[in-house]
Chain A
């Protein structure tokens, strides 16, 4: 499953990272180096094995549906936008999205 230049272009677009044209070939080579090494996993018999997403064997705890105090509570729009590069009246400002 070797990665070519066009695949890198597509993946970089999906990941929202601008990669200049001249980086695509070297990146393909780097990714192939890593993926080639990873492919030894194909030797392992995984028939009937369940996929493991977490080592913590508990169901997600539920909490009471009430407004929390403090960091995770509501009513603090200033804190939500405190670190944003551009804001106006507690809104995040981004370039025009809809024409």
Chain B
């Protein structure tokens, strides 16, 4: 048998059920792998003792034959999910020492199904970033490197720790969140499978809020089946989130391998960007051919509002963030400055010390676009353009069942390469952000390598709440791509 940490989540689940291995030895194997991978900086907190206890409880359940769907499976949790009694930082200095007294609904669902928590994963501060370079806890390093070159590359962001730890086999799978592409873009850069479900599919309760009308939790996993198993456990209606939708959660794993015959795949011509690497363009055509071979019909669709999606996002998201992040005031939790004369300077200095540059920038943008005299010109206009983007997708899905696009405009880039110009960094999310604005489910699947040996992903988008068709398409892409490359484990120290 392969080493425990090289088993997929599905293989691990089955091996645990058949008692070929124990949850305790599985957890120890992962804790050992994490310990050796300090250089990747994927974890903010490792909860080793807690993990061993959970694993022991899982072994008891497995012995009695009443294990849950994820019994004994060790997971990593993005540090944006509140975990009871465990430090939760959102990658920010301002949440220093914050140990929630409650558990997020999504993580509670995973523990209900028997999963084991290995710890909390590094991320861009408050999920604001596309390269994991804004974390107070330092950069996460991508396990992938260019051929014959040891330059440290970004794993993408904001779920950079999630993507890196899944790619390096430091956990069986991980949770992520996606506000503009924060699951799909890092998945693309690390050859992992990332799914952002329909807005409302997973509860946002207990997830540190960034932009509430866009934030959605989802899995990052090694393959499509693993992602399906994870999402089934994470999803579901929650009365504590008023935007969570009361619908049955399908068994996504059950649709894998179903025929795609007659399915219509839309190819949106506006996703063909000037200056896009030829390899990405070629991979995109290859993806269309794969789906054609699987029995799908290709349809040209037009989404002319696409170019406005990122500017809309950079009004809507900072506006919502400036409001959500008003709660960090040094009174209720986290960091409080020692340098103040009165309550105003306490607020101002606490926030100046606690937030990093990108978070401050976005709060200022958000405050500006919501301020008197500018609200109509920026915020209201952005919400109207958002409606046009939404309507365009609704029309496109009259003609097709899925949309196929690249996941990200480039492969993993070097740390520090794009930090000088915020707008250049924002362009990383050009293919993913539309899915958030329209609330659509979307996923990135590893599809190929570029000339430098770095992974590239393809994205599928589906109609709201049609994750089943999404998974069907993802599985077909995965089968056709036959992607088996792995990063060399240079980080094992």
**Chain A residues within CB distance 8 Å of chain B:** 1, 3, 7-8, 11-19, 27, 30-31, 33-35, 37-42, 44, 46, 49-56, 58, 60-61, 63, 71-72, 79, 82-86, 92, 94-97
Contact = CB atoms under 8 A, between A and B. Distances in A.
A18 B349 contact: yes
Interface in B156-191: none
Nearest to A45: B388
Interface of B: 97-103, 199-200, 213, 239-240, 242-243, 245, 305, 307-308, 311-312, 314-315, 322, 326, 329-336, 340-349, 351-352, 355, 360-361, 363-365, 367-368, 371, 374, 377-378, 380-388, 390, 421-423, 437-439, 464
A12 to B, nearest CB: 6
A17 B360 contact: yes
A17 to B, nearest CB: 5
Nearest to A10: B371
A84 B332 contact: yes
A60 B241 CA distance: 10
Contacts of B199: 54-56
Contacts of A7: 368
A85 B348 CA distance: 16
Contacts of B378: 38
B384 A17 contact: no
A35 B365 contact: yes
Nearest to A37: B423
B423 A56 contact: no
A83 B98 contact: yes
Contacts of B308: 40-41, 44
A17 B368 contact: no
Contacts of A13: 348
A15 B322 contact: yes
Residue from the set A11, A31, A58 with the largest chain B CB neighbour count within 10 Å: A11
Given A15-B322, A38-B314, A83-B98, A51 B384 contact: yes
A85 B330 contact: yes
Given A34-B422, A52-B387, A82 B101 contact: yes
A71 B438 CA distance: 32
Contact of A95 (B340, B360, B365, B383): B340
A33 B421 contact: yes
Contacts of B331: 84-85, 92, 94
Contact of A11 (B307, B368, B384): B368
A61 B239 contact: yes
A38 B311 contact: yes
30 contacts: A1-B374, A3-B368, A11-B367, A15-B351, A16-B329, A17-B355, A17-B360, A18-B349, A27-B361, A30-B361, A30-B422, A31-B365, A38-B311, A38-B315, A40-B308, A49-B388, A50-B387, A51-B383, A51-B387, A52-B390, A56-B243, A60-B242, A61-B239, A61-B242, A83-B97, A83-B332, A83-B333, A84-B331, A85-B331, A85-B333
